[in-house]
Each structure stands twice: as C-alpha cells, then as structure tokens.
Amino acid sequence: MKILVTGGAGFIGSNFIHHILRTYTEYGVVNLDALTYAGNLENLKEWEADERYRFVKGSVTDGKLVNSLVAEADIVVHFAAESHVDRSIMSPQAFIDTNIFGTYTLLETARKYNKRLHHVSTDEVFGALKLDDKPFNENTPYDPRSPYSASKAGSDHLVRAYFHTYGLPMTISNCSNNYGPYHFPEKLIPLAITNILEDKKIPVYGDGKQVRDWLYVEDHCKAIDLIIHSGKIGETYCIGGNAEQENIWIVKKLLEIFGRDESMIEYVKDRAGHDRRYAIDFSKIGSELGWRPTVTLEEGLRKTVNWFQENMDWWKHVKSGDYTEYYKKQYGK
C-alpha cells in the first residue's frame, strides 16, 4: 500500500510516518510538506535512505502537484494544517489558505481519482465545555471560537460534504491535545520542558486552570492506523487520552519531574477567547475498533521529558529560528 501523508514533516504527521514504516514493512509513504515553520525534515532523518519513503516539498494548495501525488496513492492521510491558536489570532490568512483551500484542493483531486481519504481534525471545532458538561462526542454541534478552530471546522464540513455529495470514501477524526516527541516548542508541554532546560520562566495564560484532555501522540497514531484500515466510510471518530488536567497541573508536574520549584512559573495575560475546557468521549472508536489510549499522562510526560533531554540539538535548532521572534512578540522578551 502507498500512503500519501500531507503535512508529514510536522509533529503528528512525522510521528504517524514513523509508526507506519515501523509497523508495515511492505508499505510505502510519500510525504508532502511545505516546510513552514513547524515542518522539520530532521523529524524523519532515519528514513531518508529507505526506498519506502519519499519526501516532496510543496503545498496542499498546489493543484497540479497534489494531482500527481494523489493519482499514485492508495490512500491519503491529511494532516497538513496551520495549527496554533495564537498564530491564528495574530494572522488568520494562512489558516484560511491552508486549512480550508488546501483541503478543498485535496478533496477535488481525491474525488477525481476516487481515492480513500482520512482527514485529521481537532476537538477545538466543538467550542468550549463547562467544567460539569459531558465530553465532546461525534454528535456534538460545532461551535469554533478562534480563526484556527473555525478553519478546521470549515475543512471538516467540506470533507463530510464530499462524502454526501460525491460519495468520496472518507473518514474524519477529531483528537484532543497531543504531546510527545518532535512537538514544536510553542505549545504548552514542549515550551515548558525546553524553558526548564534553559532555566527560563514558563509562561502560563491567565490562572492556568484551563482544562484539556491530553493524548500521547503514539496512541493517536495507532488510532488513525485503525481508522484507515478498519473504520467505516463516511464516519467520524473522536480520539481522546482519558487524561483531563488543568494546564497549571501539567506545568507543576513537569517542574516536579525536573526537581524544580514553582518560582519558574510566570502568569501572563490570558489569550483572547481562551476556551475553558475540552474533553473527548472516545467510546465510539473503543466499541467499534477496539482502541483505547495505553500511555498514562504521567508516563507520557516522563517519556516526553526524556525525549527532549536526549534530543537537545533538535529543539535548540528549532527554537533558534522562527520561534524565537514569535516568542518575543507573544511575551515581550
């Protein structure tokens, strides 16, 4: 089987490629990535000489390129997206271009060749939960609150519309907050870890009591693997980590792992429109496909800390580039 992975040089996409190539020795992967700030070919360095893997630099908005790659693939797994809420607030244009128009371009080509497509999305399309609300599930109405989540909601609707209108063989997954190896250090967990390693303050939005469900990235990749092989065409599957915790709990746990005290925490002005809580009910994928998360939150945090400690060159290189200027704009430092 040949899989076209869009956005495969990013955090989740690269972990998915690692999973596929390690699990299925007879599979081939073509990785299409524009190599924007969060795309990093160092994430996949170990596969560069493997004949089963091929990298193509380009955008999902490039219709001619997408056409040539989809034509030769058996299945398309679509990760490519602008994905950081703060960046979407500062500059939404790229999110509209990549997340909506890019998905449209991919859908048109998949429809042309009637290719199986899996679209990777987020729980943020559902909006926010109150602390006592039931978790999101596949029937939760969409209520996006940021340019990022609105653009992902739009792409979800497009994918679903192509199934209903054209019979495109597709599935969608909406996941909770991922963390783990190769995580770009602008998100909470990798930012906290790298700041601790650099003896810098950890910025925490508002009171830090925003609740998220945390999903170790390898568990997420295994779930997508199950969906593309056994999922029901036309269906959506919610993927969660069964690990709800406040952001401030995460930061304090990381400080505990490092043996550092809470003086490293710096509370900063809250993000505009910051959702209070996300949580996922993953019972559908559990009952239909037999999936559930296997890595506990504390185990996953320790594994992630170990990875960042063992890969100092990777994250120092990443943090010295585009992210440095972004960080200064965000926190004035």
Residue 190 Cα distances to 187, 197, 210, 308, angstroms: 6, 10, 17, 8
- b/e per residue 275-293 (b: at least 16 CB within 10 A): bebbbbbbebbbeebebeb
Helix or strand or coil: residue 9?
Answer: coil
Nearest CA-CA partner of 225 in 12, 4, 16: 16
Residue type, 277: R
> Model's pTM, two decimal places?
0.93
| CA separation for the pair 64, 70 (Å, rounded) | 10
Domain boundaries, the chain: 2-184+216-242+274-296
Residue 65's region, left for phi above 0, alpha for psi from -120 to 50, else beta, is alpha
- Cβ atoms of 124 and 149 within 8 Å: the answer is yes
Helix or strand or coil: residue 310?
Answer: helix
Instruction: Specify which residues 56 forms β-bridges with.
Output: 32
- Cβ atoms of 3 and 28 within 8 Å: the answer is yes
Domain 2-184+216-242+274-296, what fold? Answer: Rossmann fold (3.40.50)
- Cβ atoms of 237 and 285 within 8 Å: the answer is yes
- Cβ atoms of 250 and 301 within 8 Å: the answer is yes
Choosing from 33, 82, 104, 148, the catalytic residue is: 148
| CA separation for the pair 86, 269 (Å, rounded) | 13
Choosing from 124, 218, 219, 275, the catalytic residue is: 124
Has 123 been annotated as catalytic?
Answer: yes
Residue type, 10: G
| CA separation for the pair 313, 329 (Å, rounded) | 24
Relative orientation angle of helices 297-310 and 312-319, to the nearest 10 degrees: 80
The full DSSP string for 19-81 is HHHHH-TT-EEEEEE---TT--GGGGGGGTT-TTEEEEE--TT-HHHHHHHHHT-SEEEE---
| pLDDT tens per residue across all 333 residues of the chain | 999 999 999 999 999 999 999 999 999 999 999 998 778 999 999 999 999 999 999 999 999 999 999 999 999 999 999 877 878 888 899 999 999 999 999 999 999 999 999 999 999 999 999 999 999 999 999 999 999 999 999 999 999 999 999 999 999 999 999 999 999 988 999 999 999 999 999 999 999 999 999 999 999 999 999 999 999 999 999 999 999 999 999 999 999 999 999 999 999 999 887 889 999 999 999 999 999 999 999 999 999 999 999 999 999 988 776 544 544 454 344
| CA separation for the pair 131, 237 (Å, rounded) | 23
Has 132 been annotated as catalytic?
Answer: no
pLDDT digits (tens, 9 = 90+) for 195-239: 999 999 999 999 999 999 999 999 999 999 999 999 999 999 999
Residue type, 86: D
Has 323 been annotated as catalytic?
Answer: no
Choosing from 33, 82, 104, 123, the catalytic residue is: 123
| CA separation for the pair 138, 156 (Å, rounded) | 12
Residue type, 281: D
Residue 304, token pair as written in the block: 């992630």
Residue 163 Cα distances to 108, 167, 229, angstroms: 12, 4, 18
Helices (H), the chain: 11-23, 63-71, 85-90, 93-95, 103-113, 147-166, 188-197, 217-230, 247-258, 283-289, 297-310, 312-319, 322-331
